[in-house]
Amino acid sequence: MKTFQWRSLVLAVPFAALLAITVYDGRKEAVLAVREQRAEGVVTGCDPSNHNWCHYKFSFRERTFEGFGGWVGKHPSTGQHVTVFFDPSDPSTSSLEDYASEDRRERGIAPLCWAGILTVVMIIVSAQFPRRQHV
């Protein structure tokens, strides 16, 4: 039997890093989802070539805030009214998508990361067993 090569586990590092980032971002979005508020905003510009990201403005407590974020659905146009979701304790943290949806999307990647990690581990472990000889 061959010796186990722990160095091979370095292949799982990118999956583990992506999993950590995904869980952290998902947790952050879940916390924001509990306290998020909505405001009406206006699209001030769009860049369809940049994954449909838009610049927008909205007001909260007599102050105007600007944001830049992705758009889900039909392409918005400049001047279009949109719903902006934001953190009332820090209104500069805002999004055009509610934070609960973002949380679900972030956490949806986690099973794929786990599958990648387990696949790497299974390949490493299975390489340690002798191959069967078919007669």
What confidence tens digit (pLDDT) does each residue in 4-16 have? 566 777 777 888 8
107: helix, strand or coil:
helix
Per-residue pLDDT tens over the stretch 33-92: 888 889 999 999 887 776 678 899 999 999 999 998 877 667 778 888 988 999 898 898
CA distance 29 to 63: 24
∠ Cα 88 93 78 (to 5°)? 110
Asked if residues 34 and 28 have their Cβ atoms less than 8 Å apart, the reply is no
CATH architecture of 37-97: Beta Barrel (2.40)
CA distance 11 to 120: 7
Per-residue confidence (pLDDT) for residue 1, from 0 to 100? 47
Q: How is residue 33 written in tokens?
A: 């989802």
CA distance 15 to 112: 9
